[in-house]
Amino acid sequence: MKTGLFGIGLDTYWPQFDGLLARLEGYRLQIRARMERMNVTVVDAGMVDNPDKAQQAAGYLKRENVDIVFLYISTYALSSTVLPVAQQLNVPVILLNIQPAAAIDYAKLNAMADRGDMTGEWLAHCQACAVPEIACIFNRSGIRYDIVSGYLADETAWREIGEWLEAAKVRHALTHGRLGILGHYYGGMLDVYTGLTGLAATFGTHVEMIEMCELKALRDAVSVEEAARKADEFGATFDVAPECESEEIERAARTSVALDRLVVARRIDALAYYYEGYAGNDYEQIVTSVIAGNTLLTGRGIPVAGECEVKNVQAMKIMAEFGAGGSFSEFYAMDFTDDVILLGHDGPAHFNMSDGRVKLVPLPVYHGKPGKGLSIQMSVKPGPVTLLSVVEGREGFSLLVAEGESVAGPVLQTGNTNSRYRFGVSAKTFIEQWSKAGPSHHCAIGAGHVAGKIRKLGFLLNIPVRQIASP
């Protein structure tokens, strides 16, 4: 992911105020250096102080194919030097209204003997002067932008800049991502059905359709030794329950090896799956033994969602790219006594979010699905969490987000993921607000509070973001 950066000023000032240009250039270089420490490639187009340089900067940033542009307002500048760059790049622009200090040193400035020098000193702190002008011209031109205000040592401003950079990275990952669909939807879950054309158009994600017979062929080719190594990985990663039969572990291990190969062969970085088939068909060996392998993939940042929940695996991918995990969940029950909501699923899970080691346990029946096999049992560790849903409504896609807490307490030991969550509103109010926003019954749960980053991602994707139940 490449981020563009350029400064703006007015070339009329440079011969008038000795040293001003070098000083302002130094501030931009400080901003670039700190951005680069955030693990991004910064394409710096330098100082744009006249219309000719605006054209040169636009051409340079276009050739470098930047994903987002930060416009550093180093002093007052004419909007005619800004508009050509923004128009030609057609990417979101973040205005950096960043002063060199929290406040002007009034005593120092007023003590200067020369009013020309005083003016030069003022101009070095004159970033806010151009903000309304640029915002005005962007509003009138239909250019999408936002503003970060502060000063060079302002950690609040740098936290905002960091969130913009993270959101741009996630958008880049989505637009370059490959989402696999294996099998078909769970029949009758109308909320889960989604338009793949709209999804690709909104997020830029490539959708790869995958046949079950391809996974079966990969599974058939797994050797005894490869299955044994994968079973050892299960033992190293999971707390394997003693009642897990060796035959079931071997069956899940073979499927897990095949899933690893499928991910590589199709170059996918997210997967939605579901399959039933006719009773007793060969594919039943696969679909009833995928949870352990899918959990390993999810923990590696390749999220997998069951019931072919395409929208939710996209939400899980967003969480994974933000470094927040992203575990597949649905609403299980409400505890009105403790004012919490229970969420979980029969897998897969994100084991990096688990409170302790994830358990691998046998299930005699997959409720609502064919067969039996191994499943995942875990609770999300106590602490801040964010819920995210990719919502498809009448007007297209949007993001629904809520911040809350995973809290300790009794949970169901049914061989599923299961956790207790409390929000800034009552459990009753939360479930009503969340449901009325129109998501499917699944959601992605991430560790930490990342709603601010998600709002910025929504801006970059040009889709609405709705947040409810702030803590």
Q: What is the pLDDT of residues 304-362, one digit of tens each?
A: 999 999 999 999 999 999 999 999 999 999 999 999 999 998 877 888 899 989 999 99
Model confidence at 470, in pLDDT bands (50, 70, 90)? low
Mean of all residue pLDDT scores within the chain? 94
pLDDT digits over 267-301, tens only? 999 999 999 877 778 888 898 899 999 999 999 99
181 burial via Cβ count (<10 Å: 0-12, 13-18, 19+): buried
Q: Would you call 232 exposed, middle or buried from its count of C-beta atoms within 10 A (0-12, 13-18, 19+)?
A: exposed
Measure the CA–CA gap between 142 and 139, rounded to whole angstroms: 5
- The CA-atom distances, in angstroms, between 249 and each of 33, 255, 274, 365 are 51, 10, 21, 16
* CA dist 4 → 25, 137, 320, 444, 458 (Å): 16, 20, 25, 31, 19
Q: For tokens 């994600």, name the residue.
A: 205
Candidates 18, 1, 243; CA nearest to 121 is 18
Amino acid sitting at position 407: V
Query: At a CB cut-off of 8 Å and minimum separation 6, what does 411 contact?
Result: 342, 344, 379, 418, 419, 420
Q: Which helix (H) or strand (E) holds 264?
A: helix 246-266
pLDDT for res 420:
96
Would the pLDDT of 34 be above 90?
Answer: yes
Beta-sheet strands, E only, within 100-170 = 145-151
Q: Which two tokens stand for residue 389?
A: 């849903």
Please report, for residues 71, 330, 342, 382, 414, the alpha-carbon distance to residue 411 in angstroms, rounded to integers and kept in the order given.
50, 14, 8, 13, 9
DSSP secondary structure string for all residues of 277-288? -STT-TTHHHHT
The confidence score (pLDDT) of residue 350 equals 87
Confidence of residue 109 (pLDDT cuts 50, 70, 90): very high
**Count of all residues that appear for the chain in the document:** 471
Contact between 374 and 435 (Cβ < 8 Å): no
Angstrom distance (rounded) from CA 232 to CA 80? 64
Helical packing angle, 291-299 and 246-266, nearest 10°? 50
C-beta contacts of 12-20 below 8 A and 24+ residues apart: 13/75, 13/120, 13/123, 14/49, 16/116, 16/120, 17/116, 17/117, 17/119, 17/120, 17/123, 18/120, 19/120, 20/75, 20/120, 20/123, 20/124
> Does residue 442 contact residue 313 with C-beta atoms inside 8 Å?
no
Mean pLDDT of 242-264: 96
What is the percent of the chain with per-residue pLDDT over 90, rounded to a whole number?
A: 89
H or E stretch at 99: strand 93-99
For residue 258 the two structure tokens come to 């095949």
pLDDT in tens, 398-456: 999 999 999 999 998 887 889 999 999 999 999 999 999 999 999 999 999 999 999 99
Distances from the Cα of 239 to the Cα of 5, 356, 413, 415, angstroms = 49, 9, 14, 13
For 178, 224, 236, 360, the CA distances from 240, given in Å and listed in that order, are 32, 20, 9, 5
Question: CA-to-CA distance for 289 and 348, rounded, in angstroms?
Answer: 11
> What pTM, to 2 d.p., does this model score?
0.94
Element (H, E) at 129: none
| Distance of alpha carbon 422 from alpha carbon 90, whole angstroms | 41
Please give the structure tokens belonging to residue 376: 């995942």
Burial class (CB in 10 A: 0-12, 13-18, 19+), 18: exposed
pLDDT of res. 277: 76
Calpha distance 296→61 (Å, rounded):
39
